Amino acid sequence: MGLKTLCLGMFCVIFVSHIYTPLPANIEESWKVMVLDTIAKTCTFMAICFENIGIMRYEEFISMIFHLDYTEPQSDEYVTVTDTTFVDIPVRLYVPKRKSETPRRAVIYIHGGAFCFGSFKQTALDFLNRWTAKTLDAVVIGVDYRLAPQHHFPAQFEDCLTVVKYFLQDKILTKYRVDPTRICISGDSSGGALTAAVTQKALFAEYLGINDFMNTVKFLTSFQEVPPTSDENVTVTETTFNNIPVRVYVPKRKAKTLRRGLFFIHGGGWCLGSAAWFSYDLLSRRTADQLDTVVVSTNYRLAPEYHFPIQFEDVYDALKWFLRQDVLEKYGVDPERVGVSGDSAGGNLAAAVAQELIKDPDVKIKLKTQSLIYPALQTLDMDLPSYRENAQFPILPKSFMVRLWSEYFTTDGSFEKAMLLNQHVPVESSHLFKFTNWSSLLPDKFKKGHVYNTPTYGSSELAKKYPGFLDVRAAPLLADDAQLRGLPLTYIVTCQYDVLRDDGVMYVTRLRNAGVQVTHNHIEDGFHGALSYNGFKTGYRVEKQYFSWLRENL
């Protein structure tokens, strides 16, 4: 008798013996549950029998049963399905075929199987992931992992964590056009356990007192970093300016005259980011090559280990070093053509150091330009029209922006809560609201019928404990007109779908009122971080306009 015939015969006998297992009366469609239960019990019983008589091991038999249900990656009219690997871990990708004007959601799905069986190839899971991708217009990643008994804990956990960290890289999210603020991880049974473990690694460590949330996010995003690699057009090196790590990009082609110099400050909410991030490395490389410019991309110490004014001081010290005559000569930079630039929190720091340089008698070489790309500029009012309209918008929702602001000054959660409620400014600082009163500083098209709310004042104790949030070096919009006069040619990018939109728009108004020459580039279809997402047409357009302005004015 052949093995297949033996298996079939045993299956039928055992199936019949189990089919009458009673179930509770309130089970919906109990006959279906009965069939599934009987199949599971039959396969389990046969696996035990085969192991006891020495035909095959229990796990081998169950794995064989699971393999009968595996499917190949088949695309259809709605979803493109492919099998690939993320850092040598097998994954199955489901990408919707319909065009999307905005970044998509993403779901990372980890299959069950008691850590010993299963795969994303199972028919039911393939159907679920395909349906998820189609219905939710989401990129879905089905994850496989090494299985017991060949591999034991923590191999399964490490494989899943590796896939998650790889997928969270900026260049991978850009490749698949995924919104980094709309990523979900999911799983069933043992896959649910792995999902919980991976999630805890990123989130719950803070609640348990093991690690700060930002430290965990910093660790995960560190996988976006790339080494300083020169190419045929640009020489890339890492060094320090006044003990601050910087990455320097110098065009390889011979220069007939002294070059422009651009000091670039990365974003990341004062907590995240690096000059080595893929997106910043690519931007600096393109800037150097296309504008024949020496680019200095600076790092700075980050929260939560370091709070204001450390970030400001690091950037200011590095910029002052770059503005030394001997340093400019070393890199062949024209001292009359040096600019500062930055995006988001980097735009905040760029604006702050530009203001500080005006009154610094030790700095003889002044900036020609400042370029502020969707900058964060004020800490007083978290109820601007842009915060109201984009409170839940992808990339930078209000809650995350407030978290970043609060981490800049302290890890005290009470400050974050007060800021989120817009009740953090004490009455004795009420005079500062004139610098951020959007009812008078925003053009009508940005007000859109919003009503200005009179500030609700907060605790004086918070302001005494964390006075940095009222410091002009942290909130450049709080500078008076006398401080703004004398600032260099200014370029400000704002995006319609960005909680920080009105910060930049109000700064445009304030600078123009103070007599500063400003070019305001408002991106109607733009969102926060657009310049870093070159996979989108908006990102390419912002970069092209940014380069055009620098080429003409720097």
Q: What is the pLDDT of residues 289-303, one digit of tens each?
A: 999 999 999 999 999
Residue 23 neighbours by CB under 8 Å, 6+ apart: 30, 33, 34, 37
Of the pLDDT bands very low, low, confident and very high (cuts 50, 70, 90), residue 196 is confident
* pLDDT score, position 536: 80
Q: What is the mean pLDDT of residues 430-454?
A: 94
> What is the pLDDT averaged over residues 146-174?
85
Looking at the structure, do residues 32 and 99 belong to the same domain, yes or no? no
Q: Are residues 424 and 460 in the same domain?
A: yes
d(CA 327, CA 335): 10
Structural domain for 181, as ranges: 69-210
Backbone angles phi, psi at 85, to 5 degrees: -135, 145
DSSP one-letter string for 53-81:
TTSS-HHHHHHHHHHTTB------SSEEE
Same domain assignment for residues 187 and 278? no
Residue 233 shares a structural domain with residue 346: yes
Q: Which residues contact 554 (CB under 8 A, 6 or more apart)?
A: 260, 262, 291, 293, 337, 339, 368, 369
Residue 9 lies inside a defined structural domain of this protein: yes
pLDDT score of 50 more than 70: no
Nearest to 300 by CA among 311, 284, 309, 292: 311
Write down the residue that tokens 């008078």 correspond to: 440
pLDDT-based confidence at residue 32 (cuts at 50, 70, 90): low
Q: Are residues 239 and 92 in the same domain?
A: no
Confidence at residue 323, expressed as pLDDT on a 0 to 100 scale: 97
Domain C-terminal end among 176, 210, 244: 210
Q: pLDDT value at position 369?
A: 98
CATH code at 203? Answer: 3.40.50.1820
What is the predicted pLDDT for the residue at 172? 87
Question: pLDDT grade, residue 38 (50/70/90)?
Answer: low
- Among 202, 198, 238, smallest CA distance to 220 is for 202
Same domain? For 453 and 404 the reply is yes
pLDDT of residue 148: 81
Considering the domain architecture, whether residues 515 and 397 belong to the same structural domain is answered as no
Q: Are residues 152 and 277 in the same domain?
A: no
Residues 402, 303 within the same domain: no
364 found inside a domain: yes
How large is the average pLDDT for residues 135-160?
Answer: 89
From CA 275, how far away is CA 277, in angstroms rounded? 6
Per-residue pLDDT at 261 exceeds 90: yes
pLDDT the model gives residue 102: 80
Q: Which residue has the higher pLDDT, 48 or 467?
A: 467
Q: Taking residues 219-246, what's their average pLDDT?
A: 90
369 and 237 in one domain? yes
Distance CA 361, CA 550 (A): 27
Does residue 219 fall inside a structural domain?
no
pLDDT, tens digit (0-9, with 9 covering 90-100), for 91-108:
999 999 998 878 888 999
Last residue of a domain, one of 36, 67, 98: 67
Could you list the active site residues? 189, 344
Q: Residues 220-237: what's their mean pLDDT? A: 88
- pTM > 0.75: yes or no: no
Residue 217 falls inside a structural domain: no
| 62-66, 195-199, 243-247: the lowest-pLDDT one | 62-66
Q: How does the average pLDDT of the chain come out, rounded?
A: 87
pLDDT of residue 454: 87
Q: How many domains does the structure of the chain reveal?
A: 4
Instruction: Find, among 38, 58, 63, the residue nearest to 48 by Cα.
Output: 58
Residue 111 placed within a domain? yes
DSSP string of 269-325, one letter each residue: TTTS--TTBHHHHHHHHHHHHHHTEEEEEE----TTTS-TTHHHHHHHHHHHHHTSH
Is residue 32 included in any domain, yes or no? yes
- pLDDT score for 508: 98
Higher pLDDT, residue 519 or 4: 519
Domain boundary among 449, 471, 493: 471
pLDDT-derived band at 208 (thresholds 50, 70, 90) equals very low
- β-strands 234-241, 244-251 pairing: antiparallel
How many Cβ atoms are within 10 Å of 112's Cβ, its own excluded? 17
**Tens digits of residue pLDDT in 411-421:** 999 999 999 99
Q: What is the mean pLDDT of residues 1-6?
A: 55
The reply to whether 369 and 311 lie within a common domain is yes
Do you find a cis peptide bond into 154, omega within 30 degrees of 0?
yes
Residue 224 within a domain: no
Same domain, 241 and 312: yes
145-165 average pLDDT score: 86
Contact present, 504 and 438 (Cβ < 8 Å): no
Please tell me the least confidently modeled range out of 197-201, 326-330, 494-498.
Answer: 197-201
Residue 425 lies in a domain: yes
| Segment 109-138, tens digit of pLDDT | 999 877 877 888 888 889 999 999 998 899
- Is pLDDT above 70 for 2? no
